[in-house]
Amino acid sequence: MAAAAAAAAGTTTAFVAPTSLAGVRATSWAGAAVCSPAAAGGAAAAAAAGTAMAAEPYASSSSPVRVPVPPPPPAVEPESVETPKSHAVPFMKKPEGLIDSQDGFTGFDPFFISNWLDQAWAAKGELKNGRVAMLACVGWFVAEFVHLPHPRLANPVALEAARDIPRGLWATIIICISLVEILTFPKMLESDRRAGDLDFDPLKLDSPAMRLREVKHGRLAMLSILALVIQQSNVHKPTIGALLGTL
């Protein structure tokens, strides 16, 4: 029966399965046909199956289905985003917390303190410290030449003169400073209040130009008073006298 099936199928090779199978299955794969006849006429069934397979290779429901897979899309290169640079230090990244509209803005923050410190609050503190430093510089030089009429208060070296002040006078100084802080601190807590605005301007000097000058002079005074303290700590002489070489 196998030979007859092969002859009937022509170029198709047929393999006959046992007759106990109920149906006929035909699968075409690599030029071969597998037939399972249901009765004695298996050769005729194989020949018919071979012709059907030639017209439709994947006639069986159990045959594999070839699904075309599209090629992957080309990789999209990410767009390069230029990192903004610092206004004061061009080779460093720009600090994100700085406020350009603040008085005295220069873009200088190499330690990125502005990323975690509230800049509105920092501006108020900087301006107050600058005002204190300007007063300290003026008092530093005045104390070198102007003294109260008492031998204990006649020392021209500011650091040494501070140790000569009586305790009762120190208490008066601390109380006066504390009163100024107590009266001005609530205004610093107001978020909508501009830095340095304490409702005190008897000479009507407030202007954008004067605000910028005050910030710059305050920064210079803070550096100056630090240098004055270092100078007297090393030479133990009055600043102007040591500068002119008279003492």
In a domain, 140, yes or no: yes
pLDDT given at position 136: 94
In a domain, 70, yes or no: no
Quote the domain boundaries for residue 10.
2-55
Which of residues 55, 71, 90 is at a domain's end?
A: 55
| 166-168-174-178 Cα dihedral, nearest 10 degrees | -170
pLDDT bucket at 182, cuts 50 / 70 / 90: very high
Rounded Cα distance, 198 and 184, in Å:
7
pLDDT digits (tens, 9 = 90+) for 106-123: 888 888 888 889 898 999
In a domain, 230, yes or no: yes
pLDDT given at position 61: 52
Indicate if 236 and 141 belong to the same structural domain.
yes
Higher pLDDT, 94 or 222: 222
Indicate if 125 and 197 belong to the same structural domain.
yes
Indicate if 132 and 220 belong to the same structural domain.
yes
In a domain, 180, yes or no: yes
Which of residues 55, 74, 100 is at a domain's end?
A: 55
Indicate if 239 and 166 belong to the same structural domain.
yes
Indicate if 44 and 122 belong to the same structural domain.
no
Query: Is 60 exceeded by the pLDDT of residue 37?
Result: no
pTM: 0.62
Give the domain CATH number at 189: 1.10.3460
pLDDT digits (tens, 9 = 90+) for 186-225: 888 888 888 888 888 888 889 999 999 999 999 999 999 9
In a domain, 98, yes or no: no
Rounded Cα distance, 93 and 100, in Å:
15
Crossing angle (nearest 10°) for helices 119-145 and 167-188: 150
Indicate if 49 and 156 belong to the same structural domain.
no
Q: What is the mean pLDDT of the chain?
A: 76
Indicate if 129 and 26 belong to the same structural domain.
no
Sequence-distant (6+) residues with CB within 8 A of 190 are none
pLDDT bucket at 80, cuts 50 / 70 / 90: low
Indicate if 225 and 143 belong to the same structural domain.
yes
Indicate if 126 and 233 belong to the same structural domain.
yes
Amino acid present at 109:
D
Count how many domains the chain has. 2
Amino acid present at 247:
L
Dihedrals phi, psi of 15, to nearest 5 degrees? -120, 125
